[in-house]
Amino acid sequence: MQVRSPQFSFDLGRLWRCATSLLLCVVILGLTGCGFSTPGPSASRTPLKLTLWQGVNPPPNRDILQTLVDRFNQSHPDIQVESLYVGQPDQQMPKILAAVVGNAPPDLLWFNPTLTGQLIELEAIRPVDEWLARSPIKDELDPALYSSMRFEDQLWSMPFDVNNVGIFYRPSLFKAAGIDTLPKTWDEFRTVARRLTQDTNQDGRIDQHAIQLALGKGEFAVFTWLPFLWSAGATLERAPVSPTASESGSGSGSGGSGQAAQQSTQSINVRQPGAIAALQFWRSLITDGSAILSQPERGYELDNFLTGKVAMQISGPWTLGQLQQSGVDFDVFPMPTQRRPATALGGENLFIFKTTPERERAAFAFAEYAASEVFQTEWALGTGYLPVNLNSRTNPKYRAFIDTQPSLKVFLEQMSVAQSRPIFPGYQRVSDTLGRALEATLLGDRTPDAAIQEAQSRLNLIFGTSS
């Protein structure tokens, strides 16, 4: 319908269409101004650049990581992650502490979960509970890994890779010694070890020992010994200590401070029969002549195993690549047991440092990607680490890989009895104390009982407790 006047005329339909278009433009501009935009690359937005500090080793594994980081960057044009190798753990620690104190931390850190407590004390990292609760990755993670993430009812990191330790052995040396049954218990292991210890060239000297044990006060030696402590029934749990009268206060007005003191005072009890038994077992292998010791702090080196000077060595799936390249025969069997089966859970987690909300959310996006089936499958295929994602373990590509790597089945099956090392603040000092006890026992400077007693006394001084 048209309405005409002497001065002008107009079309009501056209006016309605113009008004609607104008209103739509205003709404779109308003939404854009409020921050609502479609996802995807923006020509005007500078990508958010994140830094990942890592100590991935050996170098070929770093190449695999870089390839996977590149894929993330390609699919997330608004987030670009730079992966930086910053050395092995002992080299990283001064850098990490300096970065935190200087308020210049990385966005992400790849490190052993035992660092968790120290980073919490420094108030350096963000918990991931809320993010993970909304993530589909939550139900895909191996439940055994939550012990490496959780401290005091919060989750502080995301799993990146995982492993555990078993006994690598040389089948040809077992066959030559007439051993056709693999040991399952400590007693069976000790018996087999005696048979494997031989003077192969008949010159009156032992030139083939059963096993190499890690010597040193560092974490690797403790890591390979802890399965024996757990198998013997011991634990490394913190226990609250009741404060003394002077600590808790008396009279009115002291209740609050007394409660705080009671909550903060913790005791570490290593003076347990299982800890002494685990030290005694390693010492018995030395006294039997069945074991030799590694070079100090170099228990991970495989030279004696590869040359046949030892028939067994405690290690994990990270060594599979080196063993395969060596061309020597090898296989794996589970850790021997005393009271219960046990192994030590290894691997690294990703920590998200406190920066800004935007950077922290972006960092979690990468951590989520690193825990995904796609990432974990490729990482496991390339490095030998076990996938942290359960879907990866049933992925056809990974199952086919397992068929060609039967040794990995032992480590996968041991995941059900794998235990995480404690992640409470002060664990590093507990580990150092246990390392001193282990070294003193293996070198014959202390009896197992005396070494544990000395360790307990040292821990009492460290944590300000008495027993």
**DSSP-derived secondary structure for 92-106:** HHHHHHHHHHTT---
Q: Answer yes or no: do 199 and 340 share one domain.
A: yes
**Nearest alpha carbon to residue 386 among 363, 352, 416:** 416
C-alpha span between 291 and 194 (Å, rounded): 9
Q: Check whether residue 106 and residue 176 sit in a common domain.
A: no
Inside any domain, residue 136: yes
Pick from 299, 305, 309, 343: nearest CA to 322? 305
Placement of tokens 């006047």 in the chain: 5
| Residue 287 main-chain phi, psi, to 5 deg | -65, -30
The whole-number pLDDT of residue 60 equals: 87
Structure-derived torsion over alpha carbons of residues 177, 178, 181, 185, reported in degrees to the nearest 10: -40
Would you say residue 249 lies in a domain? no
Query: What Å distances lie between residue 240 and 46, 48, 260, 261, CA to CA?
Result: 50, 44, 12, 10
> What residues make up the domain containing 95?
48-164+346-420
Asked whether the beta carbons of 279 and 451 are under 8 A apart, the reply is: yes
Contact (CB, 8 A) for 105 and 353: yes
Structural domain includes residue 138: yes
Question: Domain containing 224 — which CATH number?
Answer: 3.40.190.10
pLDDT at 89: 78
CA dihedral 40, 41, 46, 52 (to 10 degrees): 70
296 lies in the same domain as 155? no
Residues of the chain with pLDDT under 50: 1-43, 242-264
Please report, to the nearest 10 degrees, the dihedral formed by the alpha carbons of residues 226, 228, 230, 231 taken in order: 160
Contact 349, 158 (CB under 8 A): yes
Q: Is 312 found in the same domain as 227?
A: yes
pLDDT of 466 = 59
In this structure, are 339 and 431 located in the same domain? yes
Conformation bin of residue 464: beta by default, left when phi > 0, alpha when psi is -120 to 50: left
Q: Tell whether 246 is covered by a domain.
A: no
pLDDT at 9: 34
pTM score:
0.81
Helix-, strand-, coil-residue percentages of the chain, each rounded to 5: 50, 20, 35
Residues 269 and 336 grouped into a single domain: yes
- Residue 10 inside a domain? The answer is no
Question: Could you tell me the two tokens for 132?
Answer: 């993970």
Residue 462: count of CB within 10 angstroms of its CB: 14
Give the distance from CA 413 to its chain's centroid. 18
Residue 37 lies in a domain: no
- 94 and 132 together in one domain: yes
**Residue 256 falls inside a structural domain:** no
- For 238-268, the pLDDT digits (tens) are 776 544 433 444 333 333 333 333 334 567 8
Query: Is the domain of 226 the same as that of 373?
Result: no
Task: Note the pLDDT of residue 45.
Answer: 73
pLDDT tens, residue by residue, 85-122? 998 877 888 899 999 999 999 999 999 999 999 999 99
User: How many domains would you assign to the chain?
Assistant: 2
What is the CA angle 188-297-108, rounded to 5?
105
Q: Is 428 found in the same domain as 416?
A: no
pLDDT number for residue 240 = 61
Domain presence at residue 257? no
In DSSP notation, 429-444 reads HHHHHHHHHHHHHHTT
- Compute the radius of gyration of the chain from its Cα atoms: 29
pLDDT, residue 467, reads 52
Residues 275 and 398 in one domain: no
- Provide the pLDDT for residue 248: 41
Same structural domain, 54 and 156:
yes
Cα 444 to its chain centre, rounded Å, is 32
Identify whether residues 302 and 209 lie together within a single domain: yes
Phi-psi region of 324 (alpha: psi -120 to 50; beta: other; left: phi over 0): alpha
- What is the maximal distance between C-alpha atoms in the chain? 128
Q: In this predicted structure, what is the pLDDT of residue 24?
A: 39
